[in-house]
Amino acid sequence: MAEVVIVPSAADAGALVADEIVRLIAARPDAVLGLATGSTPLPVYGALRPRLEGVDVSRVRGFALDEYVGIDPRHPESYRSVITKEVVEPLGLDPDRIHTPNGDLATIAHAGDDYERAIADAGGIDLQILGIGTSGHIGFNEPGSSFASRTRVKTLIEQTRRDNARFFDSVDDVPMHCITQGLGTILSARHLFLLAFGEGKAAAVAGAVEGPVTSSLPGSAIQLHPHVTVVVDEAAASRLEHADYYRYAFANKPAWQGL
Ligand code: PGA
Q: What is the pLDDT of residues 218-250, one digit of tens each?
A: 999 999 999 999 999 999 999 999 999 999 999
pLDDT digits (tens, 9 = 90+) for 25-74: 999 999 999 999 999 999 999 999 999 999 999 999 999 999 999 999 99
What separation in Å is there between the alpha carbon of 253 and the centre of ligand 1? 29
DSSP track, the chain: --EEEEESSHHHHHHHHHHHHHHHHHH-TT-EEEE--SSTTHHHHHHHHHHTTTS--TT-EEEESEEETT--TTSTTSHHHHHIIIIIHHHT--GGGEE-----GGGHHHHHHHHHHHHHHTT--SEEEE---TTS-BTTB-TT--TT--SEEEEPPHHHHHHHGGGSSSGGGS-SEEEE--HHHHHHSSEEEEEE-SGGGHHHHHHHHHS---TTSGGGGGGG-SSEEEEEETTTTTT-TTHHHHHHHHHT--GGG--
Q: Which residues contact 117 (CB under 8 A, 6 or more apart)?
A: none
What separation in Å is there between the alpha carbon of 34 and the centre of ligand 1? 15
User: Is the C-beta atom of 131 inside 6 A of ligand 1?
Assistant: yes
In this predicted structure, the answer to whether residue 91 has a pLDDT above a threshold of 90 is yes
- Give the integer Cα–Cα distance in Å for 236 and 102: 32
Measuring CA to CA, how many Å separate 25 from each of 14, 21, 100, 119, 206?
Answer: 16, 6, 20, 18, 31
CB 47 within 8 A of CB 18: yes
CA-closest residue to ligand 1 atom 7: 133
pLDDT for 168 equals 95
pLDDT for 177 equals 98
pLDDT for 150 equals 98
pLDDT for 1 equals 72
pLDDT digits (tens, 9 = 90+) for 11-37: 999 999 999 999 999 999 999 999 999
User: Is the C-beta atom of 39 inside 6 A of ligand 1?
Assistant: yes
pLDDT for 241 equals 98
Q: Which of 1-5, 63-67, 128-132 has the lowest mean pLDDT?
A: 1-5
